[in-house]
Structures are given as C-alpha cells and as structure tokens.
Amino acid sequence: MKFFNFIFLTFILFITVTLHSEKIPIPTEYSSVFPSARIRGLGGNSSALFGDINSSFFNPAALAGLDNGGLSITFETDHYSSYSEFIEKEQSLYGKNISFFTLAAYQGGISYMPLFKITYTDSVFDSLLLERDFSVQLDQYWLSFTSYSGSDEKFETPYFLGFNFKYINGKSAETKLFFDSLKNIKSADAILSSANGFGFDAGLLINLNFFYLSLMFRDIITHVWWDSYDKMIFPVNGNLGILYKPTQNFFFNFNLSRIIKKDFPFIYTLGAEYTFLKDEKKSLTDSTSFWENLKNGYPSFRMGTSFKEFPSLNNLVLNIGAGFNSNAMRVDMAFEATLERYYLGKFDYQLTLTFPIKL
C-alpha cells in the first residue's frame, strides 16, 4: 500500500508540472541569493542534502531528515546573481543583509528570503532625450510541510515528500526624465507599484542508505499581481539531485536543474564535503554548558562548482566553504568566484549561523 501511495503521488506531481510547464519566463524573476553558506560552498544547489535546515528552498522534503528543530540566519554580500548570470546576464545589487531566515523541524518550517532585487539606469537616449531609472524588489515567505507533518514521531520509510506554500510581496519604482535640446530636464514622471502573489513547490527525496535521490519542482504555480503592470507568471524550475555518502563524514553531490522551457540550458552543480570528526560519542554528547558543547564541535570543509553547457567553461562558478558544527551552534562560511572566459570575474562571501532548538 505504501508503494502504491508513492507511485500515485509521484504521478500527480508529474501531471501537475506538465500542465504548468509552458509558462513564459521573465529574466528578472530568477533567484538572486542562496539559502545558506553550506549550500553555497557545495556549488549552490543541494536538493538531495537530507537533514539540512536550510534545504527547504531547493527541496522541502529534505527537512524530514532533521533530528531536532533549529533556527538559521544567513548573511549575504553578493552583488551578482549566479543563476541570473547563467541565463540572462541579469545583475543583482544586494549588499550586506540577511538573505535567508528559517525556523524548521522535521515536520516542516517557516522561511523568509529576499527573492530578487535590482536597480539600474538606462543610458540616455540621445534621439529621444530620455533617461529611465528602474528599481524592483521581491520578498518571499513560505510554509514548508513534509510527509511527517502533524506527526510526533518518524516512520520507517525510504521516501519523503515536501511542499512549500509561498507568499510573495514586492514593490517597484520607475522614473522617466525628459530633456530639452540643451540637455536640461524638461519634465519627469514616476510609476510606483506594489505586488502580491502566491506560489507552490513540491519535492520528493528517497533514502537508499549510501545514496539520496531527489526530484524537486519549484514555482509549479507561482503568480504575482502588480498594481501598475501585468501579472507575472514564474517559470517552473526542475531539479534532479543525487548525493552519495559512503561514510558518515564524507559525501559527494550532483544536481541538474533547468527552467522547464524549450531551448533553456541545463545548469550542472557538483560539490563535496568532508567533516573532521573527533571521538564521535564525545562530539555528539550534549552538555548543559554552551562552551562545553562548542568545544566538542568539529570542522568541515567543502568545495563545489556550477556551470552550464558542459564542457564549455565560458561561465564557471567556483565555491569553497568551511563550517564548524556543535550542539551549541553551527557556523558556515562560503566564498565564491566567477571565471568568465578564463578571467576572475568576482569574489563574494556568505555567512550562516544555525542554532538548534529542541522541540
């Protein structure tokens, strides 16, 4: 009966995506930030990272692997969007701010993410004597539910389902300056607009002991209504992930993602993480002292890359990261550099702080 339910739910998920996979994507809709420094250090996508508190953006089903609840905050200094650069060369102007917040347990959680922010000025059109300034920001909030939702205990099952129900809020400002023949401002007008919308994600994760397989569809139904503009329909993004974990302290992951629309390129993500465990029993012993718990922690190191149109390296992102995990808190840091046509394009970092909460 459980196997039948699994096949049925998978079929429903596939049909739902098929019905909504022909939406026309708008370049300015792609995510400009990543949910955590750990995921960033692994290349920027980890839909099969079972038991990671920040995994709900790429696959809410992965929350089912959490042992305890927790709160996590990510700080971002990124000023470009890797995924947007891959697809349409769009730029994001995020500065130092909170780029992801989540409170979650194995039954689900609640999260916040600044989905998109861009500000730019069009060059002056000499023939039209016009200059245009444009700014837009979208913030996303969502509730995650796993197949353990409503339950006080975990079941013996190799597969897990997860769903995100999202609310999107945004604002934009568009200003036009008109000049006379002497390049003096003759007149100006502005359009201010706000936006509200909703969205839905669905994911599946299968635990095969040393392997974790994931299938995730983001923005299956995601619409945003603007006061002064047409409705935006986000494109469906499909993710296929494989994580191989031969030992407790090492894993290798591979992700394949794509905007589900004809002629859009695949994005490949590769990553690996190694953890330097101490005496396992001592490391995992919970003490009443914050400093004792912190002292018994252990470091981990990771690296990853993401690229499209393999084997071309015209636009390659390289990531490295480090973390320190204990029963008191977890700290993760990631660095990213872009190689564009074999030249260093940028260098940014990201910091994530995670605090366990016993529920």
pLDDT surpassing 60 at residue 242: yes
Domain boundaries, the chain: 2-357
Contact 65, 43 (CB under 8 A): no
Mean pLDDT of 185-206: 89
State pLDDT tens for residues 202-220: 999 999 989 999 999 999 9
Looking at per-residue confidence, does 30 or 24 come out higher?
A: 30
Confidence (pLDDT) at 18: 40
Residue 80 CB contacts under 8 Å (≥ 6 apart), including other chains: 91, 92, 338, 346, 348
Confidence (pLDDT) at 254: 95
Instruction: For domain 2-357, give the fold.
Output: Porin (2.40.160)
Strands, E assignment, 264-329: 267-275, 298-308, 315-325
Question: Is the pTM higher than 0.85?
Answer: no
pLDDT surpassing 80 at residue 4: no
pLDDT surpassing 50 at residue 258: yes
Confidence (pLDDT) at 229: 77
Mean pLDDT of 226-231: 82
Separation CA 262–CA 259 (nearest Å): 9
Confidence (pLDDT) at 45: 81
Name the phi and psi angles at 291, rounded to 5.
-70, -35
| Tokens describing residue 305 | 């890359």
Separation CA 197–CA 165 (nearest Å): 11
Sign of the torsion angle spanned by Cα atoms 152, 154, 155, 157: positive
State pLDDT tens for residues 137-157: 788 999 999 999 988 888 889
State pLDDT tens for residues 49-58: 999 999 998 8
Looking at per-residue confidence, does 77 or 345 come out higher?
A: 77
Mean pLDDT of 102-112: 96
| Tokens describing residue 223 | 């619409």
